[in-house]
Structure 1
Amino acid sequence: MIVRIMGEGQVRVADSHFIELNKLDDELLAEMERGEQDAFRRTLGALLDAVRRLGEPLPEDSLEPSELILPGPDATLEEVREMLSDDGLIPG
């Protein structure tokens, strides 16, 4: 799956890694619902770090359509809340 991190670029992440990513996404969603700003910031950073670590960066001039768009590391709780679906940032 092609994942875009806003403001950074795209990475290709194997489907086998989405179990780990979904755990972080579930944790992020719970922290947002509780309004836990500090925990939200840590978990968003961990989620983005995991995508970077597990994914393979695409060339900057690549024009692949992104199947998933994640907020950048400086996104606010409110900005991320606007991006959420019922499943969180990551469907499934």
Structure 2
Amino acid sequence: MRINEPNRIGMINAYNKSGNTPVGKSGKIPMGKDKVDISTEALEMQRQVEDPNSPQRREKVDQLKKQVEEGSYRVSSEKIAEKLLSFWKKI
């Protein structure tokens, strides 16, 4: 078997050079800035959510808590199935 260029160091030098990162005057690597973009859909959802401290929401939450404590809170299995299907269809 013949091996071409057994003393080839060109690839080693290229590998070593690829690890170099730009360093500023202070000797530290410059860091980027973090940025958050909120979609228009998320902003719309945020506008639609009721204020958690509103009297209507507090009354509804208290009513649901009472039903759960009494054991009279029931959810339709059809509603659960619809929500599950719509969730899995989005994925």
TM over 0.5: no
Considering Cα pairs closer than 8 Å and 6+ residues apart, tell me whether 1 or 2 has the greater RCO.
Answer: 1
TM-score, normalised to structure 1, is 0.26
Rg larger for: 2
Q: Which has the higher strand share?
A: 1
